Amino acid sequence: MNKYLVAIFTIIIFTVSCRKPNAVDEETYDERLSGGSNTIFDESSGAFSQMFPTLTGRNELAHELGDASFERTFVTAPAQVNPGLGPIYNNVSCISCHAADGRGKAPDVGEGLLSLLLRISVAGKGAHGEPLTVKGFGGQLQSHSIFGKQPEAEVTANYTYTEETFADGEIVELRKPTYQLSNAYIALPTNLLVSARLAPPVFGLGLLEAISEYDIKAKQDINDADGDGISGKANLVYNAITQKMELGRFGWKAGQPNLRQQSAGAYNEDMGVTNPVFSIESSYSQPQYVYSENKETEISDSVLTTVTFYMRTLAVPARRNVANVEVVEGKKIFKQIDCAKCHLSSAKTATNLAFAEASNQLIHPYTDLLLHDMGDGLADNREEYDATGKEWRTQALWGIGLTKKINGHTNFMHDGRARNYTEAIFWHGGEAQKSKEKFKALNKHQRVALVAFLNSL
């Protein structure tokens, strides 16, 4: 080919490949596409477990390998298959807590913890601002152990009950959990701080990770400059991989900076499995610790990488019934009572040539990924980096309407105390107190419409 034609062709290709995508008009955008081009139209019991439809080739294979590892059940070493469990732990696999890639279930009265765990600390902060760990226990209570070892403590749940009343007289019962710790292997400190954490859904996380730090921080209103009573802020947390303080995105208080560290922490603390990020057993320096001359971690870097990629590439179910009259009315009410000020309907992912599938997507997660003061009722009185004892990260609402079908329950909030949307809204306080009061003033018809909208997400 003529060298001049080659040069012209190269310039054309470079120009086209570097051209910025056209801006998306959100008003005319199909609002069913919660995950942008990574939305799947699936209302079955497997709707939370589908890969990005944009994956091809080796990325599709990597997702499938990660899926297999996510479902992998660990057993006590030595074993030929999946050794490394414990010696103390909370569960035996990722999928055991995140059933069907959805949310965990709160324990019933007198029941032990299945897909809920207790974070623990004492007053003060660590070297990077993290919660101060408990001597002899660490930062998370492990209520199970392998044969011959003792769990850190046994935990059972109980509830106390109160009532809230709508303006039209309808009464709603609320429940607040308490946890009884017994048979601790050593005495627990009297100043112990405890925070229950329910396993959250894991689909769509790669899209939340793809939102730029700039866009998240731009939504902050730390000093409530606009006077609306809402003052969201970002959390700044320690990245154990880069050894720097970075934006927190994941966890109930946005205590993790990315999905790789989130996954590595769960392996280490939840299952007692060492990995390239956290290579020391959670039981180290405790009598439960089992010394091994094998210095290799219990899962390899490739396993951690594929599991992280699996979570990054789980698609988001499409919204349903978006044109239904009741749903449309409920959406308007959602905005009128100011739920949408924290549960922001839309976000745009950053341009990322290295992860093209998640790049430049208009998504509808219904979260701002910021911390908000939720009032005394939800307070765990336990700080986590910049998050106070009353602050929690806004949870994404996409897919929430499929929770009952996929997970068999509707347990919401950080500890699953709410058994339905109504209870969840009634637990909102602090910055959300005005929205709660507006919700209480709604008539029955409006409340039904609001629920219809939430069920459409």
Please spell the DSSP secondary structure of 296-338, one letter per residue. S-SS-HHHHHHHHHHHHTB-EEPP--TT-HHHHHHHHHHHHTT
Residue 21 domain-assigned (yes or no): no
Domain region containing 237:
27-456
Residue-wise pLDDT for 163-187, tens only, equals 999 999 999 999 999 999 999 999 9
- Residue entry with tokens 């988001």: 316
Distance CA 76, CA 86 (A): 7
Q: Which long-range contacts (CB under 8 A, 24 or more apart) does 81-84 make?
A: 83/298, 84/271, 84/272, 84/273, 84/274, 84/298, 84/299
CB 149 within 8 A of CB 88: yes
What's the whole-model pTM score?
Answer: 0.92
3-class DSSP assignment, residue 13: helix
Residue-wise pLDDT for 323-373, tens only, equals 999 999 999 999 999 999 999 999 999 999 999 999 999 999 999 999 999
Distance CA 336, CA 326 (A): 15
Q: Residue 260 has which token pair?
A: 């790789």
Residue 161 domain-assigned (yes or no): yes
Number of domains in the chain: 1
CB 271 within 8 A of CB 140: no
* The pLDDT of residue 295: 83
Residue-wise pLDDT for 191-228, tens only, equals 999 999 999 999 999 999 999 999 999 999 999 999 99
Residue 276 domain-assigned (yes or no): yes
In angstroms, what is the C-alpha Rg of the chain? 23
Residue 13 domain-assigned (yes or no): no
* The pLDDT of residue 294: 82
Residue 5 domain-assigned (yes or no): no
Residue 2 domain-assigned (yes or no): no
Residue 404 domain-assigned (yes or no): yes
pLDDT at 2 over 50: no
- In sequence order, what are the beta bridge partners of 118? 141, 196
Residues 6+ apart with CB under 8 A from 187: none
Distance CA 120, CA 67 (A): 30
pLDDT at 4 over 50: no
CB 51 within 8 A of CB 314: yes
Residues 6+ apart with CB under 8 A from 254: 234, 235, 237, 248, 369, 370, 371, 387, 393
Residue-wise pLDDT for 421-454, tens only, equals 999 999 999 999 999 999 999 999 999 999 999 9
In terms of pLDDT, which residue wins out, 29 or 169?
Answer: 169
Please choose, from the candidates 316, 296, 208, 311, the residue with its C-alpha nearest in 3D space to the C-alpha of residue 266.
311
Torsion of CA 330, 335, 337, 338, to 10 degrees: 150
Range 282-292 average pLDDT: 94
Residue 178 domain-assigned (yes or no): yes
CB 378 within 8 A of CB 392: yes
Range 51-79 average pLDDT: 97
Neighbours of 187 (CB within 10 A): 7
Share of the chain above pLDDT 70, in %: 94
pLDDT at 5 over 50: no
* The pLDDT of residue 17: 31
Share of the chain above pLDDT 90, in %: 91
* The pLDDT of residue 12: 29
- Provide the residue type at 249 as one letter: R
